[in-house]
């Protein structure tokens, strides 16, 4: 009898753990996709530097913080088995390469923060080009086609 109770309790704990992991993976997918979808708007705000420098600074900081977090939004199992995601298996099989691609975006957005803080519009335009240059490098290797 006691053994049966322990078995049921153990099964309940296991279910709770597995359920929690599934939620964590779904949350990670949602968070990273929301950040990617926000990029164009944030870069647009930086492009408006001449008319709204404070807004541009805030957007640049948010881009930098977002890419710092982005690298950690790919927990094991948050792949196509966990939900609708374009994340390719290479993100996990070539974790070092993915981390390097993300570090480029972190560095490019750090340069963007410095440029918006400098007040130099030409520097902001150049740094924006650097940020845009990191998108395709990562997508080519680590983002799959749209999921219908």
Using CB under 6 A as the binding rule, whether residue 102 contacts ligand HEC is answered as yes
Using CB under 6 A as the binding rule, whether residue 85 contacts ligand HEC is answered as yes
CA separation for the pair 12, 131 (Å, rounded):
47
Min dist. Cβ of residue 40 to ligand HEC (A): 6
Q: Which stretch binds ligand HEC (CB under 6 A): 2-10, 15-23, 36-44, 121-129?
A: 36-44
Measured between alpha carbons, how far is residue 2 from residues 5, 9, 14, 52 in Å?
A: 5, 11, 18, 68
Min dist. Cβ of residue 39 to ligand HEC (A): 4
Using CB under 6 A as the binding rule, whether residue 139 contacts ligand HEC is answered as yes
Using CB under 6 A as the binding rule, whether residue 101 contacts ligand HEC is answered as yes
Q: Are 105 and 42 in contact (CB under 8 A)?
A: no
Using CB under 6 A as the binding rule, whether residue 30 contacts ligand HEC is answered as no
Q: Are 123 and 53 in contact (CB under 8 A)?
A: no
CA separation for the pair 23, 29 (Å, rounded):
10
Beta carbons within 8 Å of 109's beta carbon, 6+ residues apart? 60, 63, 64, 66, 67, 131
Count of residues near ligand HEC by CB under 6 A: 21
Binding site for ligand HEC (CB under 6 A): 29, 32-33, 36-37, 39-40, 85-87, 101-102, 105, 131-132, 134-135, 138-139, 142-143
């Amino acid at each position: 009898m006691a053994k049966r109770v322990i078995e049921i309790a153990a099964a309940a704990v296991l279910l709770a753990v597995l359920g929690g992991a599934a939620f964590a993976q779904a949350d990670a997918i949602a968070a990273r996709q929301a950040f990617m979808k926000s990029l164009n708007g944030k870069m647009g705000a930086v492009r408006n530097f001449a008319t709204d420098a404070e807004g541009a600074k805030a957007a640049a900081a948010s881009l930098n913080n977002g890419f710092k977090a982005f690298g950690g939004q790919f927990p094991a199992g948050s792949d196509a088995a966990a939900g609708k995601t374009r994340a390719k298996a290479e993100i996990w099989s070539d974790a070092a390469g993915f981390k390097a691609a993300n570090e480029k975006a972190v560095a490019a957005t750090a340069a963007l923060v410095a440029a918006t803080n400098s007040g130099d519009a030409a520097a902001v335009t150049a740094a924006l080009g650097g940020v845009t240059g990191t998108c395709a490098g990562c997508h080519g290797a680590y983002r799959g086609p749209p999921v219908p």
